[in-house]
C-alpha cells in the first residue's frame, strides 16, 4: 500500500503544531478512495492528541488536490455497484470532511484546488492560498451534485449568491484574489509561500491556551453548523441518484475524452 500522507508532529511553539502533507508525487494529487481513507485516518489520529493545538494541511508544490480520482479503479467500480453498496462507498467523502472539521486546522493551498479538494478545504478552519493558485468546483459539469456537506460550509463562508456562482458555473476558475474577496480564503500569499504563511498563523494559534482555543472552536462550529445536517442530509443520496443519470455518464466521458459535454437532462 502506497502512503500518500505524511504526518510531522512537535513543531512550532512548545511543539504544538503538526503538519499533514498529502502528496502523491504526480503534481495532481487526486483523491482516490485510498487517499480519502488515509487523509481521514490522519485527521482522526489527532482526536486524543493533547500535545497538538493546530494542524496544517498542505498538498504538493503544484497542487492542493485535483479532486476525486475519476481514473482510479476502485472509484470507477462505483458504476457497477448496487444502490446499497454505492451509498456505503459514498460515505468516504463526508467521513473525511467531518474528521477534518474536528481539530483546529489550516490549509496551505498551492496550484489548483478542485472539486473534492475544495470540499476538504472548506471543512478546515482557515485557508491560506498562493496568489497564482485557483479553485474550481466541476461537479455539475460532470453531471453530479456538490456533496460531502460542502454546500452548507461554503454558504457559511461566502453567502448564497457566491455559493451558487461557485458551484453552478462549474467551468469558471476562482482566482486567489476572488476567493479572498468572497471570503473563501483568509489570506493570499506570494507563490510558493502559502505553507510558510500557514505555519506563521499556526504559531499564533499554538501560542494561545489550548483548552480555551478548543472550546471556542467547538462553540463557534456548533452555532455555525447547527442546521448543516438538516440542510444536507440528502446530499449523499442526491449524489448517488445523479451518478445513475445519462448526463453523469456523458459528463465523465467528456472529461476523460477532453471534449465538451452534451447534456440532455436525463
Residue for grid cell 487526486: 30
Cα angle 153, 156, 162 (rounded to 5 degrees) comes to: 95
Residue 98: per-residue pLDDT: 92
Residue 225: per-residue pLDDT: 81
Q: What is the count of structural domains for the chain?
A: 1
The reply to whether 200 falls in a domain is no
Nearest to 173 by CA among 132, 212, 207: 132
The reply to whether 165 falls in a domain is yes
Whole-number Å distance between alpha carbons of 4 and 60 = 11
The reply to whether 74 falls in a domain is yes
CATH number for the domain spanning 77: value is 3.90.226.10
How many CA atoms lie less than 13 Å away from 79 in the CB half-sphere? 14
The reply to whether 205 falls in a domain is no
The reply to whether 243 falls in a domain is no
The reply to whether 256 falls in a domain is no
Residue 251 backbone phi and psi in degrees, to 5 = -60, -45
Whole-number Å distance between alpha carbons of 247 and 266 = 6
Residue 183: per-residue pLDDT: 96
Count of CB atoms within 10 A of residue 190's CB?
11
Residues 90 and 241 sit within 8 Å (Cβ to Cβ): no
Whole-number Å distance between alpha carbons of 128 and 108 = 5
The reply to whether 209 falls in a domain is no
Q: What is the pLDDT along the chain (266 residues), one digit of tens a residue?
A: 689 999 999 999 899 999 999 999 998 999 999 999 999 999 999 999 999 999 999 999 999 999 988 777 776 777 777 777 777 777 889 899 999 998 999 999 999 999 999 999 999 999 999 999 999 998 888 888 888 889 999 999 999 999 999 999 877 899 999 999 999 999 999 999 999 999 999 999 999 999 999 999 999 988 888 777 766 667 777 777 777 788 888 888 887 888 888 888 88
Q: What is the pTM of this model?
A: 0.88
Residue 120: per-residue pLDDT: 97
Residue 28 belongs to what domain range?
Answer: 5-192
The reply to whether 198 falls in a domain is no
Nearest to 198 by CA among 2, 21, 6: 21
Whole-number Å distance between alpha carbons of 88 and 90 = 5
Cα angle 62, 63, 68 (rounded to 5 degrees) comes to: 145
Amino acid at each position: 500500500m502506497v502512503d500518500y500522507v505524511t504526518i510531522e508532529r512537535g513543531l512550532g511553539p512548545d511543539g504544538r503544531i503538526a503538519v499533514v502533507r498529502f502528496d502523491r508525487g504526480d503534481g495532481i494529487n487526486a483523491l482516490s478512495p485510498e487517499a480519502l481513507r488515509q487523509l481521514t485516518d490522519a485527521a482522526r489520529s489527532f482526536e486524543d492528541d493533547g500535545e497538538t493545538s493546530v494542524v496544517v494541511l498542505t498538498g504538493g508544490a503544484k497542487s492542493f488536490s485535483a479532486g476525486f480520482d475519476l481514473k482510479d479503479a476502485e472509484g470507477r467500480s462505483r458504476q457497477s455497484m448496487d444502490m446499497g453498496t454505492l451509498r456505503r462507498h459514498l460515505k468516504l467523502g463526508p467521513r473525511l470532511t467531518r474528521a477534518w472539521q474536528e481539530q483546529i486546522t489550516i490549509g496551505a493551498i498551492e496550484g489548483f484546488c478542485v472539486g473534492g479538494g475544495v470540499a476538504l478545504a472548506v471543512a478546515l478552519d482557515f485557508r491560506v492560498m498562493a496568489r497564482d493558485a485557483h479553485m474550481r468546483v466541476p461537479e455539475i459539469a460532470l453531471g453530479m451534485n456538490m456533496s460531502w456537506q460542502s454546500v452548507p460550509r461554503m454558504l457559511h463562508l461566502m453567502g448564497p449568491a457566491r455559493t451558487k456562482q461557485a458551484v453552478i458555473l462549474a467551468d469558471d476558475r476562482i482566482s486567489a484574489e476572488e476567493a479572498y474577496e468572497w471570503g473563501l480564503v483568509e489570506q493570499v500569499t506570494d507563490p510558493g509561500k502559502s505553507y510558510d504563511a500557514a505555519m506563521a498563523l499556526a504559531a499564533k494559534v499554538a501560542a494561545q491556551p489550548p483548552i480555551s482555543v478548543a472550546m471556542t472552536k467547538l462553540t463557534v462550529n456548533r452555532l455555525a453548523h447547527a442546521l448543516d445536517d438538516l440542510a444536507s442530509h440528502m446530499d449523499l443520496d442526491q449524489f448517488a441518484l445523479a451518478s445513475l443519470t445519462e448526463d453523469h455518464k456523458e459528463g465523465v466521458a467528456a472529461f476523460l475524452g477532453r471534449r465538451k459535454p452534451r447534456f440532455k437532462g436525463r
